Structure 1
Amino acid sequence: MPLKRSTANWEPEVPSNILLKSFTRPSYYLGILIVSWGIIMTLTGVVQNFGGLLAVRILLGTFEAGFFPGAVYLCSLWYMPRDLATRISLFYCASALSGAFSGLLAAGIAKMDGVGGYEGWRWIFLLEGLLTVILGVLCFFFLIDSPNLSRKWLDNDEIRYLELQHFIKEGGKFKEEQKRTSWRDIRAVMLNWRMYLLAYILLCQSACSYGTKFTLPTITKGMGFEGTNAQLMTVPPYVAGAISAVFFSTLSDRFYWRMPFVVAPLLLIVTGYSIIMGLKGQLQAHIGPGFFAIILTCMGIYPTHPATTSWTMNNLAPSNRRAIGSAFNICVGNIGGIIGSYMYLDREGPTYPTGFGLSLAFGGSALVAALILEISFVYANKLNGMMSESEIRDAYSDEQLLEMGDKSPLFRYTL
């Protein structure tokens, strides 16, 4: 299919998360999104022309785009900043595992070619779309909302504990938090130059991730594997990526230090693509080093997203800005998916100098961006530490400090 996933869903994330904030029960909003994109995915299986395919693809991207940033924001409501990376990684590693098994699942469903008069590719959309609708309906009943709306399975002490956590994360609720996002919050996020560096890291990660997803079967074939064996050989890199994501995120939360666990995976990406480029397309003659390098790149690609996303969430306040900032970064990151979908040129296979070269450049430049961010956060904390708390409270009211959010001199950036 000529339409790539990211070309249709990189825009709606920010307005989607702003809309999510107006829902008392996030499960309803996320459930609506999932059911909607499940219905549209099902309809993709019955389209008859390119115009219909284009229409459902745009609608699919529109509804699908709000899910991941909304889910990340929902996680931030339940967990303290130091516990967030592991939770996001557990959620995000599903992406790695889907990459491991989606090809085999699609290949199995495609064998239904001719059943009911439908081609095999149509059955892929019909069955996976119907399953998505079922999962979306279940969200209305089983997806958690806020602690205060979870009295069926939390007792009063547990709810109080979680609400106190939220109080601490918000710097103290000196006034009732506005449900609606203000233009002040949007402007504060959009004028925060650090958000653009964090978003760039996600863009680089997405470019490498999508490039790998679209070319990995071709790479395994270049190593001499054929048919089902070529598909099976794509599984270990994705599984290694999922394990790596949880491992690095757990360490990041354990030490409550984000930068090393963004930089280390990026180093793996740089190392892996350097090895691949060094083989100069001779993959079949160097199966061991080539396959090791592919695994290394996946072990770097998949931890980078949850680490960077949690770094973003940790360094934005209050919750309105976290909702906007997380959605903005994921939105910009999806642009990398567009790049990654097209940077591996068929005519250059199996060496793919453009694709592998750009992946190497993305990994290296993202690493530099992470180091710049770390230096800026250290410097900002040093400046904020020059005034004592009593001096700060003499200069600003509690309401002013709350409105300043992460720009408050009491705020300390997570390194």
Structure 2
Amino acid sequence: MAEKVIQDYDVVSIEKKETRATHVEELVSKGLTYEDAAFLDGVSKKEESRIFHKVDVRLVPMLALLYLIAHIDRANIGNAKIEGLEASLNMEKTDYNVAVAIFFVPYILGEVPSNMLLTRFRPSWYIGGLVLAWGIVMTFTGVVQSFGGLCATRFLLGLFEAGFFPGAIFLVGQWYPPAKTQTRMAMFYCSSALSGAFSGLLAFGIAKMDGTAGYEGWRWIFILEGIASVALGAFCFIALPDSPARSTKWLKPDEIRFLELNHLLYRGKRQTEDVQGPKKKFQWSVLWQVVTDPFLYLQALVFMSNAVPNYGLKFTMPQIIRNMGFTSSRAQLLTAPPYACGAISALVSALLADRYVWRMPFIVGAQTLLIVAYTILFVKAEYIADNIGLCYFAVFVACVGIYPILPGCNAWTINNLAGPSKRAAGIAFMICLGNCGGIPGSFIFLESEKPKYPTGFGSSLSFAAAGIVAALTLEFSFWTINKRNARHTEAEWREKYTEGQLEKMGDRSPLFKYSL
């Protein structure tokens, strides 16, 4: 009996050794040295989770807080509107829509150049500087005396906010492998939804300062929230992690080695190679690869299926709820619950998408909820005072549908871009195109059309439907290409192309597998 147990133990031990050797060989085939492959293979799942948890604690809350304050600062104009902004600045007709839309001109144009600059600086310094700058602009928005002054501050706000979101997405891609990106993005992106809730609650409280120091309540909304942004921007310089190599104070040498090898395995280059030196020439070939990539345009359409409904609703929700017959103060408070549900839906959707490593169903499911919500509002909003419960429920459904789309879209995009240069430029380019949806989103809800808002609700419905078509097209395209490339072995492809040719192809290489 004892001999049988020993024999069984020996067989199991041999099988484990063979399995490990096979795994090490597989890692070596992906570009690691044998020593690095053996080290990476020796890191247990429990240890891996512990290391990523350490990163989570340092990186994710900071990005979430920054994204929260960014969305509060760009959207609090909607709260200021119902507290007397338009009357104080003698605004009329579509002036409000123009002030909202002008933010997106520099915001859209600045995203790609900003992300290319990001690769030349420490992220903590670059992003911290951006937050500090837009906080100062937001503070001064509270003292503008004319419509022109408001437009000037909104333009500068868009200019400085342009680099943050694509920079944050790039930073997440530097720290985490593809299967762990969406949950982390959702953790800080759901703060976008919470920003709507906090914005309403803060506006409710701050507006009570009306008359303090001779300033109207809407001015204090900008001033106090701007000062908070300035403080947070200064905090970035010491609190935002740059890279594992620069994190020796809180990461052990073996943990840094694991993160760098993990990045090399999944992203293709060591992080020390990801940052362009100041003397490195601009790579026009990378920009050409980006602008000629059809998948990025489809991803941008998926992004727009969020951007148009999202910005339209964010800038108008206080007014929509006020149209139901509530006072300004009550309307500010009632914006909070739908946004809170949107935050929960973003996180739950991301957890499921990362667990199953599948983006499309959770994106299309959210877009379908948008179609349901805006169909209800399109039909019933004309008599909104008689359908308060149903229309307020539709606002909830819209928020639940809006917020899972972007984490899924961004994770899907960054996981399907090979090489750090194209990844940085590609994600910024996609977000740049997608954020063009902010311009129509700023104009679709017209004051003259309230409370029915046929242009607003109808446009949101159309973009959600277009987003579904784009997502399904992407899924089919990626699945087809993966299936076609799998018809040949890696050895066969390497016989056909040189190593240099395969590397130059990037995500067009037959060895690259698209993430679904």
TM bin, normalised by shorter chain, reads over 0.9
One-letter identity of the residue aligned with 1:72: I
Structure 1 residue runs without a partner (length 5+):
none
TM-fit CA distance, 1:162: 0.4
Note closer, same or farther for the CA distance 1:11–1:214 as it changes in structure 2 (3 Å cut): same
Equivalence for 1:20? 118
The answer on whether the counterparts of 1:31 and 1:139 sit within 8 Å (CA) in structure 2 is yes
Equivalence for 1:369? 470
TM-fit CA distance, 1:174: 13
TM-fit CA distance, 1:293: 1.6
The answer on whether the counterparts of 1:175 and 1:399 sit within 8 Å (CA) in structure 2 is no
Matched, 1:47 2:148: no
CA distance in 1, matches of 2:217, 2:170: 37
CA distance in 2, matches of 1:45, 1:175: 43
Deviates more, 1:222-231 or 1:357-366: 222-231
Equivalence for 2:402? 301
CA distance in 2, matches of 1:413, 1:324: 18
Q: Deviation string for 1:205-255 (max 9, x for gaps)?
A: 111001111222222233333332222222111111000000111111000
Deviates more, 1:401-410 or 1:277-286: 277-286
Equivalence for 1:139? 236
Deviates more, 1:28-37 or 1:329-338: 329-338
Equivalence for 2:427? 326
Equivalence for 2:481? 380
Structure 2 residue runs without a partner (length 5+):
1-85, 87-95
TM-fit CA distance, 1:278: 3.0
1:184-333 to 2 correspondences below 5 Å? 184-333=285-434
Equivalence for 2:172? 75
The answer on whether the counterparts of 1:41 and 1:129 sit within 8 Å (CA) in structure 2 is yes
Structure with max Cα Rg? 2
CA RMSD of aligned residues (A): 1.9
Note closer, same or farther for the CA distance 1:358–1:378 as it changes in structure 2 (3 Å cut): same
TM-fit CA distance, 1:399: 3.1
Matched, 1:112 2:209: yes
Note closer, same or farther for the CA distance 1:178–1:172 as it changes in structure 2 (3 Å cut): closer
Matched, 1:92 2:193: no
CA distance in 2, matches of 1:85, 1:167: 19
CA distance in 1, matches of 2:327, 2:139: 31
One-letter identity of the residue aligned with 1:238: Y
One-letter identity of the residue aligned with 1:92: Y
TM-fit CA distance, 1:127: 1.6
What SS does the aligned partner of 1:282 have?
A: helix
Structure showing greater relative contact order (alpha-carbon pairs closer than 8 Å, 6 or more residues apart): 1
Equivalence for 1:6? 104
CA distance in 1, matches of 2:450, 2:272: 60
Equivalence for 2:246? 149
The answer on whether the counterparts of 1:171 and 1:402 sit within 8 Å (CA) in structure 2 is no
CA distance in 2, matches of 1:243, 1:86: 12
Deviates more, 1:162-171 or 1:215-224: 215-224
One-letter identity of the residue aligned with 1:148: A
Matched, 1:57 2:154: yes
Matched, 1:394 2:491: no
